[in-house]
Structure 1
Amino acid sequence: MPVKKKLTSGIVAALLLTTSMAAWAQDETLIGLVSITAVEPHNAAYAAGAAKAAEELGWTTSVVDANGSADQANAAVQNFVTRGAKAVVAMIFPPSSLGEGLAAAKAAGVPVVTWGGGMSGTVAATNGSAEPVAQMTLDRMFADIKDDGDILALTYRAGEFCRVSEQMLDAMAATRPNVTIVRNEVRIPGAFEDGAQYANAWLASHPAGRNLAIWSCWDDPAIGAVSSLRQQGRNDVFVYGSNASPQAIEAMRGGFMTASAWQDSYAEGYEMVKVIKTILEEGDGWEPRAAEVPAVLVTRENVEEFVAAHPEVLGH
C-alpha cells in the first residue's frame, strides 16, 4: 500500500488539465482516466493515486471530466483510444453506458478497467465496488431505525455504484414492512443543491416523532441534506452517505451525520494502475477480476479515532 500524500489544490488542478503535447501524440505510456466528476474529493484522490503509480512506472496519466454525462464519457474513451492510450479507467460509469467507448477500445486492443463501475462485458478489472461499501451503511441505518421508520433516499441511477447501492437498499427494505422510502434523483453537477432541496420538502412532511433517516449512495447529496437539517434545527434524523469526505467528517463531528463508508480512493487508484501493468504483461492470459481495497465504516462515534489514524482525509 502506498504512502498517501496530502492533496494540495495544485495537485488537483494539475490532474484536471490534459497532459502535455507529447501525450496528445501516440503516447505509448498514457493511461486515460474518465471521471464522472473530477472535482469531487474521492475522484481527485483516485486520480492522484493513479498518477503516482504511473509515475513510478514511467507512464503518464490524463483526466477527462465527463460532468456526469455518459455521452461525454464515451467520447472521452474513444479519444483516449485514438491518442494511443495504454489503458483507460472509467470512473463510476457502468459498462452498460459505455458501449461505443468499450467497442472502440476492444477493436484497438486497449484494456478498460472501472472504479465503482462494476464488471461486465469487456471490462478487464474493477475496484471500488458498491456492495461491500453500501452494506456497511445500510446495516447501520436499519439498526438505527430499528427496522421501523421513514427513509428519504437520494439516488443517482446514472452511476453504477449508486444503482447497485439502491438495489441493495430495496432488497433490505423489502423484508421490513414497517419501512417506507421516498426517492428523489439528484443531478451531477448539482448534488449538494438537490440534496438540500429534497430534504427541505421531505422534512416538511416528516415531523419529529418517528424514526427518520436520509440515505445517499455518496456524501454530496447527504451533505446538502445536512444543511437543511441545520437550517431547520432538526437533530432527530439519521443521515448516511459514502466516501467519508471532509464535509462528511465535519458533519459527523457536529453530530448531524450518522455514518459514511470510507474508501481509500488514493490507494484504489494506485493499485489499479499496478493491475493495469499486470494486464498488459499477461495479455490474452489475463482473467478479468476485482481488485478491491477494503472500506472502513466511519461513524459519529468513531470519527475522532478515524481522523487520528487518517489525517490525510482532512488534508493534514
Structure 2
Amino acid sequence: MTATMRSPARLTQYAHGGGCACKIPPGELEDVVATLLTPGDRTGRADDLLVGLEHGDDAAVVRLDEHRAVVVTTDFFTPVVDDAYDWGRIAAANALSDVYAMGGSPLVAVNLLAWPRGVLPFELAREVLRGGLDVARAAGCHVAGGHSVDDPEPKYGMAVTGLVRPDRLMRNDAARAGQPLTLTKPLGLGVLNSRHKNTGERFPHAVETMVTLNRDAAAAAVRAGIRCATDVTGFGLLGHLLKVARASNVTAVVDAGAVPYLDGARESLRDGFVPGGSRRNLAWAQPHCDLSAVDDAEAVLLADAQTSGGLLLAGEIPGAPVIGEFVPRGEYLVVVR
C-alpha cells in the first residue's frame, strides 16, 4: 500500500541524520578503502586514470584523449530540510559540485531515489525530483532517468558525468607552499540545518547558499589558473582542508578571523544544535591540527559538517575571501591562528 498526501510532512523527521552530516566518519571510511585498490590492481591503461582513490578526491577522472577527460561522481543523502522541492534542489547542487570542484562541466545526471513508499506520499517524491531537475537544467546538465528503491529512510541524490580538459583539471593534491587559501561560501550550514531539524525554524539564507551552484566559482578558478580545489561538504572545513594538505604535502594555515559564517550559525552552536557529524569531524581532524589559538566552539564551527558548501581553492578569485595560506609542511597539517 502506498501513502497518500494528508498533511505536510516534516521530511527531516524521517531520517536519523541530515544532508552530508550523515556521511560515514572520515577515519572509518579511510580504513575501509585503504587496501581496496593499488596502482598495480588497475584495469585498462593506468595512465588514463588521472584521478582515482589515492587521495579521496571529489570525483574520478579518466582521460579520453589529449583535450578531453570524463569526470564521474555520485552523491546522495537523507533530507536536510523539510521542504521536498528544496531538498531536491540542494541534493542536485551538491552532486554537481563534485564536477565543478574538478574544474569540469556536468554533462548528464541520473537520479538516485530511496523512498519509504508506505509511509510518505509519492507526491513528495515528485517534488524532490522536480527540484533536482530544475537545478540540473540551470546547470545545463541533462537528467536521464535513474534508479529507485523502497527504503525505510528517504534519500535522494544524483550520479553525474561531466567533462574536463586535462590541462585545466583541479585536484586536491596540487596545493603548493606560498599559495593563498580561498573559501567561496560561508560556513555554518550544519548547525543551522540541525536547528531546523530539531525546531522546524526555517533559514532561507541557508537554503539559498546550498542551492547556489559552484559553477561560477569553478569557472573563475580555472580562468585564474588554479589547479588545486575541493568542495567543503560533510567532513567540514578542517576535514577537507586536512585532506588537501596531506595529499599535497604542505601545511594549511587558517586565519580564524577571516573565515565567513552564515547569520545565526554562532547562535545555533551556542544553543546546542550541533550535528553528530561535526563532532566526529573534529575528533578525526584534531590530532593533525594545531587549534590552540581558538576555543572549543570555534573549533566545532571549523569542523561543522556542510551540505552543498563552497569550494576551497589554492589561489584567489574575485569576490571570495582569502582565509589563509599554504606553507611548507610542518608538524601539523592544519594550523589555525
Does TM, scored on the shorter chain, surpass 0.5? no
When the two structures are superposed, what TM-score results if normalisation uses the length of structure 1?
A: 0.25
**TM-score of the pair, normalised by structure 2:** 0.24
